[in-house]
Structure formats: C-alpha cells, structure tokens
Homo-oligomer: A and B are copies of this chain.
C-alpha cells in the first residue's frame, strides 16, 4: 500500500515542472519498465499490482497495490500492472557527431517525438538533439510512443543555433525545408546532422541560418504535407541507404 505522501509525489510527476524539479519521470507497463531496467536506468519507486512478477533488481523499490490504487497514480487511461518513478540522467552537452544525429527544432507533439526516437533507434542514429521548446522527452506520452527507445537513444536539450553553429565544417548539416535540394540525389556524408522543424511552422529563422544543405523529400502525389515523424524517418532511411544495403541485423 502507498502512503498518501507517496501517492501525491507520484501524481505530481504528471506535470513537467514537477518532473524537472524532482528529476524523476513515470514509466508505465511491464514492457517499458523492463526496457528501462535492461538499459540501466535508476528506479526511485515501483508500484505494481500483485500479479506482476517483480524482477529481483526492483524488489526493494517495489510496493504492491490494488488496481484502484494503481489507477489513482497512473497517467494512463488503462493502467497496466506496473508504474515506476525513474531518475532522469544528468544533462550533458552533446559531443561532436561521429555518425548520424537528428536535431529537432520545436517539435510539439508527444507522439511525433516518441515515434522519432523509435525510428532513430532503428536506423542507428547516435543521438537526438532537441531545442528547449520541444515537447519534453519524459512526457508520459513520449515515453509510451517511443516503445522504450527513450531509454536507448541519448537525447540532449540545447539551444540549436549555438549547437549547429559550433559544428565542425566537416559535419554535414542538412535541414528539411520546402524548397531544398532533392534528398534522394544529394550526397549523404557522415558525420551528419539532420534537422527537422515544428509541425506547423518548420524551421525557425535562427536554425535556418545554420543549415548548410537544405533538403526536401519530393512529392509524387497530391499530399499536402508529410508528418514530421515520417519526414525524419524517410531522411534517416535515405541518408543511411548505403549501410542499409549492406549486411545488417534485419527485422521489421
């Protein structure tokens, strides 16, 4: 059973300001909890219903509750067996890119960020660098949509104009824009930083000024626009086509 104080503490983690203040965030459901554990994240508290098989490493942090108690602290519509308060890692500045980096300028939708992290993990993106006005990666909907990729892909939050402006000249800086070069036909060197903008407004002026190669995914049909997560995924696929053609772990 949870104390009233603990209930209250966990419920405060539904809010970004409290998550950032406490440096804790919520991870829900057996699959995501397992992913966080396997990836070595630190657990502050684990709240589970009786049926959940508690991994030995989490036994001391775990308290057993009723389904109603779990529902009372969960951020999900259908709480699923277990919820954990997990510690955020220390913030570190992003190192210079050695492979492929995704950079997100004011991406707002939690589902989009979660899906971008998932694709980033798939295509071997080394890290994701977010502008401070992006949706928070520890938002419960981002964590959920990432299917655990949030635990595996390093994410940094830094002002993008300074980050992009300080990249070595040997690093490609490609930005997704409306009237750039055809991304399928430009060269795809690495290290490279691929930059995507806000769902409605695209890249901000300060970021646009740092783009060295503006690129566009050409349109063959009648579509109005591509979802930013789709655009990010296509850019990764196109940029990495050469290694993707080689021998590699294959699974859809």
Contacts and interface: CB of A to CB of B under 8 A. Distances in A.
A230 B121 contact: no
Interface string A55-81: 000000000000000000000000000
B221 A120 contact: yes
Nearest to A233: B230
B218 A248 contact: yes
Copies of this chain present: 2
> DSSP class of A's interface residues: helix, strand, loop or mixed?
mixed
Contacts of A152: 221-223
Nearest to A39: B222
A137 interface: no
Given A249-B219, A251-B216, A230 B115 contact: yes
Given A234-B234, A238-B237, A221 B122 contact: yes
A241 interface: yes
Contact of A252 (B111, B184, B216): B216
A125 B221 contact: yes
A177 B250 CA distance: 10
Interface size class of A (residues with CB under 8 A): 35 or more
Contacts of A240: 220
Contacts of A250: 178-180, 182, 216-219
Contact of A149 (B216, B219, B223, B231): B223
Nearest to A175: B252
Nearest to A178: B251
A245 interface: yes
A2 interface: no
A29 B251 CA distance: 39
B230 A184 contact: no
Given A123-B221, A125-B221, A178-B251, 7 more contacts: A115-B229, A123-B220, A147-B224, A149-B223, A202-B252, A220-B244, A225-B252
Nearest 7 pairs between A and B by C-beta? A124-B220, A122-B223, A124-B221, A121-B223, A218-B248, A218-B250, A216-B250
24 contacts: A115-B230, A118-B223, A120-B223, A121-B222, A122-B223, A122-B226, A147-B225, A148-B224, A152-B223, A176-B252, A182-B248, A184-B244, A184-B245, A216-B250, A217-B250, A217-B252, A218-B244, A218-B248, A218-B249, A218-B250, A219-B249, A220-B243, A229-B230, A231-B252
